[in-house]
Structure 1
Amino acid sequence: MSQSKPRGECPGASACGCSPDDREETAMHDHRRLGRELDLFDTDPLIGAGLPYWLPDGATVRHTLEEYIRTAERRAGYRHVYSPVLGKRELYEISGHWSHYSDDMFPPMDVGSEQVVLRPSLCPHHAVIYRSRSHSYRELPLRMAELGGMYRSELSGVLGGLTRVRAIQLNDAHIFCTLDQVADEARAALEMIRSAYEALGIRPARYRLSLPGPGGKYVAAPDEWRRSVDLLTEVLDRSGLPYEPAEGEAAFYGPKIDVQVTDGAGRESTLSTVQVDFHQPEQFDLHYVGADGAKHRPVMVHRSIIGSVERAVAHLVEQHGGAFPAWLAPTQLVILPVSEAELPNAEALAARCADRGLRAEIAGPERGTLGARVREHRLVPYLAVIGAKEATEDHVAVRLRDGRRLEPQTADAFLDRIGALVDSHTTELWDAVA
């Protein structure tokens, strides 16, 4: 990505020794402007409002984020599936989306004698996947995850950048479990959210217990609502997390724990959620065979660790001012040969980076003085300078994004160190690894 400093901006409080006033300005980064300046994403009226496309560096950030969350889910016992982005209208009539959520859905499309709809949510598809096979209590909890597309018919006036879009890639999962497993699964989801936020450098603004409010947008099942609210309240209380109840913010089928974040202007949005759902297992007639040999109804726990990829990246751009944690940065290392004579050494080092899975590029002397090249790439976590002495000894002189200069060291030791830091998903540039 273009690593040049945006006009009038610093790259972020974690990236340079800027003044408190500059850091205050950094907090006000608008991802819509900065994301375009950094060549992460853009839009085109021919594609349409609310339908951004990802440029190569943005796609790298997105891919890295997706792989991180998929790996975390696999380690937590989730199995991944793929499901179609279309479904028959009848599917959403059964789930309740058509009667409670159709204002936010795209109109159905006639295909022969059927009507199909772009899905507004992944949960009906996952319920059908669960229903397609018989299940024993021994299999539960069954954790099903997908990073899949869904579509919302947002009005043009509310669309903006990556935060409000019409085509969404959601980090979604549904846990089918017994009633006595719900609290543990919800707590485990909250712990996954905490761990992901730590790796990404995200600070939650608050936790919200989203409850139903007045009006007819909620399914009429008072006993189910009461049980769901009690379960989530217990989870929050036992987790020791401060939270605030908010009426009118629940999903139409059940209450939620919402993890709220704020942007530099103080605007609040939901990034991650944990939900308890008794409604859809009933609607789709889901069951498992218990230890008694009889059929029992599972509970469905919905959870999203990073929410939509679009909103997550938008928040990360604003939070870090483009100076992403090293493991997430589009370019992790820039190699700076002092002169043309060191260019073969730089190319050899770049090849070693590629072999180790590190994202590196070379900024040669044809791009200006060494100082100019350092400034141009000030958002890159690591700069490796190779002069005549370093080339002879297979060393590099290391500069960190935060301004620190390290003693020259062997290229292999340097690559081992940053490789370990990247693999650990830390937000630290150097100190986290001994």
Structure 2
Amino acid sequence: MSDVRVIIKRDSEREERVVTTGTTAAELLGGDRSTVAARVTGELRDLAYEVADGDELEPVAIDSPDGLDILRHSTAHVLAQAVQELFPEAKLGIGPPIKDGFYYDFDVETPFHPDDLKRIEKKMQEIQKRGQRFSRRVVSDEEAREELAAEPYKLELIGLKGAASAADGADVEVGGGELTIYDNLDAKTGDLCWKDLCRGPHLPTTRAIPAFKLMRSAGAYWRGSEQNPMLQRIYGTAWPTKDELKAHLEFLAEAEKRDHRKLGVELDLFSIPEVLGSGLAIFHPKGGVIRKVMEDYSRRRHEEAGYEFVNTPHISKGKLFETSGHLPNYAESMFPPMEFEGQDYYLKAMNCPMHNLVFDARGRSYRELPLRLFEFGTVYRYEKSGVVHGLTRARGFTQDDSHIYCTKEQMPEELDELLTFVLGLLRDYGLSDFYLELSTRDDSEKFMGEPEEWEEATEQLRQAAGKQGLELVMDPGGAAYYGPKISVQARDAIGRTWQMSTIQVDFQQPKRFNLEYTAADGSRQRPVMIHRALFGSIERFFAVLLEHYAGVFPPWLAPVQAVGIPIGDGHVRYLEDFAAEAKKLGLRFEVDSSSDRMQKKIRNAQKQKVPFMVIAGDEDVAGGAVSFRYRDGSQKNGIPRDEALAEILDAVARRQQV
């Protein structure tokens, strides 16, 4: 036994302690059941870790980001143990924590059924109550191979040690470090119950898992490659308290009700036919109305801000994308080439190369700058089938793409005005809760250009962001290969975060395309290029708004702003005349002249989430009036026709919800 000096850090306090060898982190940090692990000199460790001289220890709470990962990773191990107890033939893949939950991949002969998930969850509850102890031990490659000889995917991970990446989700130490196995030991006898190759750390025991639930199963290719076997992935969620689990499940239920794919069908807005192809949507008439209104308003605002509209083709010779740098740096996200007349042609994945051609079509003077080009340009990107998701992750979509060419001197003011313009326009569509993310370069080789150029571009973006008074979050290494970017992150009505507009400063493409303008002194100078997508893509923004409003669009965006509901057949003509007046004023007004009873017509209009139901009966006709029924069920009777039209027009003009 000998003395060991350690420092315990809690918040801003530091306490020096002298303990004996063999003292564990649990003994030093114990007493608080919310502490599930220790950060030891920057490294996460189990509470069973025996401290060494000079260690600095910090408690890791279960509700901290690291604590949640440890909770969810531990629950994933319980899931895997439960599966192998019920399905002994199941082979183990990987089981990492993810946002709000965890998953584990299995190779099984038959895909899991919902009833299987119920059995597995019950078995997990049994394991949780047993209080099995998670115990870490270091093993050699040979020992790991011998112990896990029946697990082919684990053997593959052992072979990848040193080459594996966090993106693989591999439960092995990355970078050629030590291999570790975690044993699940019986709480009373210490006998081995189950084991897994894992880097850890884990909770002390399975009883420390407070609340969890299995969600669903799905197919997933091993290590994300379509060349590998298809495994069965079980998703689950775990939380520090049962109340938090309940709140999360309620949130998921609300999110499911708002799912744009579900609402798209219910409201007859769009579809993604299998015969057309995954990730390729068609908009139906009502969806087309919303899309047109979105585009028309954006187009008007851009015209007022001095943008000029251009149009470019959907395909190009490969040489253009070689020059822009997309083929060397972005080819995996582009569709394969089409050979034609001895040339390779590509579907465009970006509009910027073609906008460079517009700039370069003739000589440019400093008097023309800043030159703001804008296009609703459809692009095509090869997304793997596993990540395609409705309109939010598509293979064909239309960007509201702008490229601004300016001098270096103009850049600070342009970025400031551009970010103000972007945020203002997003607010007009009903989003209001934002923060900003600044994506920069790291030391990897994917980034073009000199570090000094990146520093200048990054600093200009940082200053522009600072003027907005919003939270700024750093994203090291997240920049595009040609320049840093600011992303506007917007929270929707139920608190989810969506990446919206992006603004990128690019010194590289003007050089690659040899873009120049004539300066005031007659010299030839290189412009700065600013990339900007405001919606990101029209399809994705459409989906975000659809979920944000849960389909209950404000009147200015609603595909049908008002529907006439006659009490009887004799009132149809009266409402048709009223509808004709409304349409002359630009309103989208329909009359339900079907044979359905009035209450059925009201229910139909409510299901379609129409803002104004305009009802007419004998008294209304006699008084030259109508009655309003609103989406919340309230009603206002005997409104003169001109006042009724004025109310609808006012609601549309204010772009506010009713």
| TM-score, normalising length: structure 2 | 0.59
> Is the alpha carbon distance of 1:421 and 1:195 closer, same or farther for their aligned partners in structure 2, counting shifts above 3 Å?
farther
Q: What is the distance in 1 between the residues matched to 2:490 and 2:644?
A: 35
Maintained 8 Å contact 1:26/1:321? no
Match of 2:360 among 117, 126, 131: 131
Q: Distance in 1 between matches of 2:445 and 2:252?
A: 43
Q: Which residue pairs with 1:385 in the alignment?
A: 615
Matched ranges for 1:4-153 at <5 A: 25-28=253-256, 29-153=258-382
Matched, 1:396 2:626: yes
**1:291-344 Cα distance to aligned partner (Å, 9 max, x none):** 111111111111122110111011111111110111111111011111111111
- In the aligned structure 2, how far is the partner of 1:203 from the partner of 1:248? 28
**1:412 is matched with which residue?**
642
Distance 1:111 1:387 in 2: 66
Aligned to 1:10: none
Partner of 1:5: none
| Contact 2:431–2:492 (8 Å) recurs in 1 | no
Aligned to 1:336, which of 565, 576, 586? Answer: 565
SS of equivalent residue, structure 2 residue 409: helix
Judged with a 3 Å threshold, the aligned counterparts in structure 2 of structure 1 residues 81 and 325 are, in CA distance, closer, same or farther, namely same
1:373 aligns with 2:601: yes
Q: Deviations over 1:167-221 (max 9, x none)?
A: 0100110111111211222222222222222222124453111112343322142
Alignment CA distance shift 1:50-1:267 (3 Å): farther
Which residue of 503, 506, 525 corresponds with 1:274? 503
> Per the alignment, in what secondary structure is the counterpart of residue 353 of structure 2?
helix
Shift in CA distance, 246/304, structure 1 to aligned 2, threshold 3 Å = same
- Provide Cα deviations, 1:87-124, integer angstroms capped at 9, x if missing partner: 11111111111111111011111110221111110001
Deviation at 1:394, TM superposition (A): 2.1
State the distance in 2 between where 1:23 and 1:358 align: 36
Q: Secondary structure at the match of 1:373?
A: helix
Aligned to 2:551: 322
Change (3 A) 1:148 1:253: same
Matched AA of 1:234:
Q
Alpha-carbon distance in 1 for matches of 2:489, 2:366 = 34
Amino acid at match of 2:533: S
d(CA) in 2 for partners of 1:365, 1:120: 46
Deviations 1:388-410 (A, max 9, x none): 12112221112222334235322
SS in 1 for 2:577: helix
Q: Deviation at 1:45?
A: 1.6
Q: Is the 8 A contact 2:449 2:508 kept in 1?
A: no
In the alignment, residue 337 of structure 1 is paired with which amino acid? Answer: P
Distance 2:421 2:648 in 1: 25
Contact 1:271–1:311 (Cα < 8 Å) also in 2 = no
Amino acid at match of 1:158: V
Please state which structure has a larger fraction of its residues in strand: 2
1:257 correspondence with 2:486: yes
Structure-2 residue corresponding to 1:295: 524
Amino acid at match of 1:417: E
Matches of 1:167 and 1:277 in 2, distance apart? Answer: 25
Once the 2 structures are TM-superposed, how far is the Cα of residue 353 of structure 1 from its aligned partner?
1.8
* Aligned partner (choices 451, 456, 463) of residue 227 of structure 1: 456
CA displacement at 1:129 relative to structure 2: 0.4
SS of the residue 1:156 aligns to: coil
Distance in 2 between residues matched to 1:205 and 1:76, nearest whole Å: 22
1:192 aligned partner: 421
Structure 1 gaps of 5+ residues are: 1-20, 430-434
| TM-fit CA distance, 1:267 | 6.0
Amino acid at match of 1:419: L
Structure number with the bigger relative contact order (C-alpha 8 A, sep ≥ 6) is 1
Q: Is the 8 A contact 2:613 2:628 kept in 1?
A: yes
Aligned AA (1:306): F
Query: How far apart, in 2, do the equivalents of 1:146 and 1:163 lie?
Result: 20
Shift of 1:289: 1.2
Write the letter of the residue equivalent to 1:377.
A
C-alpha separation in 2, matches of 1:373 and 1:22: 31
In the alignment, residue 650 of structure 2 is paired with which amino acid?
A
Residue 13 (structure 1) aligns with: none
Residue pair 1:204, 1:259 contacting (<8 A) in 2 also: no
Q: Contact 2:269–2:284 (CA<8 Å) still a contact in 1?
A: yes
Distance in 2, matches of 1:204 and 1:118, equals 36
Larger Rg: 2
Which residue, out of 651, 655, 658, partners 1:421?
A: 651
Conserved 8 A contact 1:43-1:53: yes
RMSD over aligned Cα, in angstroms?
2.0
Structure 2 vs 1, CA of residues 408 and 212 (structure 1 numbering), >3 Å: closer, same or farther? farther
Q: How far 1:274 sits from its partner (Å)?
A: 1.0
Instruction: Find the counterpart in structure 2 of residue 157 from structure 1.
Output: 386
1:353 is aligned to 582
Q: How many residues align?
A: 407
356-365 or 85-94, larger mean C-alpha shift: 356-365
- 1:255 deviates by 0.8
Aligned-partner Cα distance in 1 for 2:416–2:285: 36
**Does the alignment pair 1:201 with 2:201?**
no
Deviates more, 1:389-398 or 1:56-65: 389-398
Q: Distance in 2 between matches of 1:157 and 1:22?
A: 26
Give the equivalent residue in structure 2 for 1:18: none
In structure 2, C-alpha distance between the alignment counterparts of 1:234 and 1:269, rounded to whole Å: 23
Query: How far 1:160 moved relative to its partner?
Result: 0.9
Deviations 1:3-24 (A, max 9, x none): xxxxxxxxxxxxxxxxxx9999
